Amino acid sequence: MHDIGVVGLGAMGLASAWAASRVGARITGFDQFAQTHRQGSSHGETRMIRGLYSEGRVYMPLLDRSYSLWARLEEESGETLLKRLGGLDIAAKGSPLLEESLACADAYDRACILMDAATANECWPALHLPDHCAAIKSGESGVLMSDRANIAMARLAQESGADLNWETPVQSVTRDGDGFVIRTDQDEVRVRRVINAAGPWAEQFSSDLQTILTVERQVIAYFDGPEGDVPPFQRELHDGRRVYLLPAANPGRWKLGLYHHRQQCGQEHCGASDVDDEDRRILTDCLKAVLPDCAPPDRFEVCRFTNTVDGRFVVDPAPDDPGMVLIAACSGHGYKFAPAIGEAAAALALDLPPPVDLSPFTLAHQTKL
């Protein structure tokens, strides 16, 4: 019998397998698609990591632990996976986004620089910020090489004995005495504990998630980046929408996303979909609004968010069966936290104390909203 069965081998599932294998647990994992597939939420050349977290101070301990574990992954894999390029939060002066970033810096003693639009434009002329904006620079922010990091976590887990099964859809997960049976179309595997990291498909294996999760279609654009040494940044637009822009893997190329792109939600968005003219128009307009000197995007791709009620993560044992750990709802901003979330999930599954306080990330928090 394996100690843990991981359902879903995106970033969170791979991080769980890597973490559990580091402490000698016997791991098996399953994913319905091939390795490095583009059907879920974890693919993409790069992801942003921010040293200050405007989504809330509750994330900062988890973020600090993630930085430590990204460094460990680099050391163990022999690869450079995190590039500290600095990063900017940009919004109207006095906005909640900027105020929360400053509160994170104050509460956790993080260095940052607050500058007005004129100063930011002098540093990075490509931004063309209007006078009502301000920017916060964090030197710890940067870019994660996400596709390469996923491969590195899988390799290290397998080298430690994890049995990772790609193109193996899980049909059911059922309680069986002191453990669980994971059924695929090829086999039945007994495990002591389960980590449900199935993302958009997680509710199939835990009824606790059926009223909590919402799958949302998201579209990313790629373009030739701005001139000058512009750091990755997020910017809140005048209408409250928020965009994020960061370098892609190839030199000179950048990627752009608009949070909650067209607010297209529902289980039908689990499947593959094509980019249409409206997707292109929206992202082209966003790019023109924040980097007006850049040429329009020339490549687009679709991914998915798996949103909770308020966008906060869930990392928690299932209420109806604590033998199953739920980490299936990172609401489109979880990738940077993957190694810490995986470590915490592995600890819960092995009855070990999680290294980070998980009380802000319970399922009960979502059900009370």
User: How does DSSP assign 51-86, residue by residue?
Assistant: SS-TT-GGGHHHHHHHHHHHHHHHHHHT---EE---
How confident is the model at residue 369, as a pLDDT? 73
pTM: 0.96
How confident is the model at residue 262, as a pLDDT? 96
Question: Cα separation of 124 and 27, whole Å?
Answer: 48
DSSP track, 293-359? TSPPP-EEEEEEEEE-SSS----EEETTEEEEEE----TT--GGGHHHHHHHHHHHHTT---SS--G
Count the residues in the chain: 369
At 275-288, the pLDDT tens digits run 999 999 999 999 99
Domains identified in the chain and CATH numbers: 2-48+146-213+310-367 (3.50.50.60), 87-136 (no CATH), 214-307 (3.30.9.10)
DSSP track, 334-348? -GGGHHHHHHHHHHH
At 318-355, the pLDDT tens digits run 998 999 999 977 888 999 999 999 999 999 999 999 99
Per-block mean pLDDT, blocks of 10 residues, the chain (369 long): 97 97 98 88 90 96 98 98 98 98 97 98 98 97 97 98 97 96 95 96 91 93 96 97 97 96 92 92 98 98 93 93 89 94 98 96 88
Amino acid at 113: I
Q: Are 142 and 83 in contact (CB under 8 A)?
A: yes
